């Protein structure tokens, strides 16, 4: 079952070389981290504000999120990643979309990356494992574990890269939300919106989508998204969110 079926990618899925979406195809066989529901959720949930001209995708991997955003806006998009092979594959993926001229991928370390201009929007599906055992594949280990990009470093850099009133959006395990929100506030990034993601209505959320604004922000809105209903069918809300991308919706 592909990522488009609304769950995290399993071992069988990781053997797939690519995933087909409605308007593009993502190859990920050269990437440490594969196409998964987390990235699709962040790309679908993020709605660039009118007039946004520059967007940054941190830890872009296959380029999935950047390409999803290119489908819904006219901004120039930059994706950065430590992994040279992933950057090469993201470039190949972008070249086979209608928006290749607006997609630019760079091998760079987020802790030292210095863009020529600030961004109005930054997105990131960050590495977040802190206590799990290291993976034998060193590339995948770096992609999975936050030691490769500590949250405090990510937030400090995002605050530097953003224009005033710019937005920063991430997807995280729900249990890490409070600490991340506190660290963001300490760096001048105010919580702007939050969406708890759960498997079924009433179940404990596994993921959270967070939006921050650089500078003052109105009282943050809170949303809930259940992927399936009690009968195991995809919810109308989940299908509506991902319909522009998934072939089956």
More reliable by pLDDT, 54 or 134: 54
Calpha distance 170→246 (Å, rounded): 21
Q: What would the pLDDT profile of 21-43 be if each residue is shown by its tens digit?
A: 999 999 999 998 889 999 999 99
Whether 169 has a pLDDT exceeding 80, the answer reads yes
Calpha distance 235→239 (Å, rounded): 6
> Under a CB-based contact definition with an 8 Å cutoff, are residues 51 and 34 in contact?
no
Cα torsion 109, 136, 40, 197: sign:
negative
This prediction has a pTM of 0.88
Look up the CATH number of domain 3-242. 3.40.50.150
pLDDT given for residue 34 in this prediction: 87
Task: Give the domain ranges of the chain.
Answer: 3-242
DSSP assigned state of 6: S
Whether 14 has a pLDDT exceeding 60, the answer reads no
pLDDT given for residue 147 in this prediction: 52
What's the whole-number average pLDDT of the chain? 89
pLDDT given for residue 9 in this prediction: 40
Share of the chain above pLDDT 90, in %: 81
pLDDT given for residue 128 in this prediction: 56
- Give me the mean pLDDT over the 158-173 stretch: 97
């Amino acid at each position: 079952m592909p990522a488009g079926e609304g769950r995290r990618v399993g071992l069988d899925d990781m053997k797939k070389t690519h995933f087909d979406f409605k308007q593009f195809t993502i190859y990920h066989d050269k990437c440490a981290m594969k196409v998964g529901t987390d990235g699709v959720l962040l790309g679908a949930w993020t709605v660039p504000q009118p007039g946004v001209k520059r967007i940054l995708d941190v830890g872009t991997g296959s380029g999935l999120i950047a390409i999803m955003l290119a489908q819904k806006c006219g901004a120039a998009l930059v994706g950065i990643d430590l992994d040279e092979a992933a950057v090469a594959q993201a470039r190949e993926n972008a070249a086979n979309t209608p928006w290749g001229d607006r997609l630019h991928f760079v091998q760079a370390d987020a802790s030292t990356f210095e863009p020529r201009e600030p961004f109005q929007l930054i997105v990131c599906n960050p590495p977040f494992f802190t206590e799990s055992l290291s993976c034998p594949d060193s590339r995948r280990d770096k992609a999975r574990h936050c030691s490769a990009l500590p949250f405090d470093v990510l937030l400090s850099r995002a605050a530097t890269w953003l224009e005033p009133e710019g937005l920063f959006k991430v997807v995280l395990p729900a249990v890490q939300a409070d600490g991340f929100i506190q660290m963001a506030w300490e760096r001048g990034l105010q919580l702007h919106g939050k969406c708890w993601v759960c498997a079924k209505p009433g179940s404990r959320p596994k993921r959270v989508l967070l939006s921050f604004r650089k500078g003052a922000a109105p009282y943050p809105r809170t949303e809930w998204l259940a992927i399936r209903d009690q009968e195991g069918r995809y919810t109308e809300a989940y299908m509506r969110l991902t319909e522009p991308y998934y072939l089956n919706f």
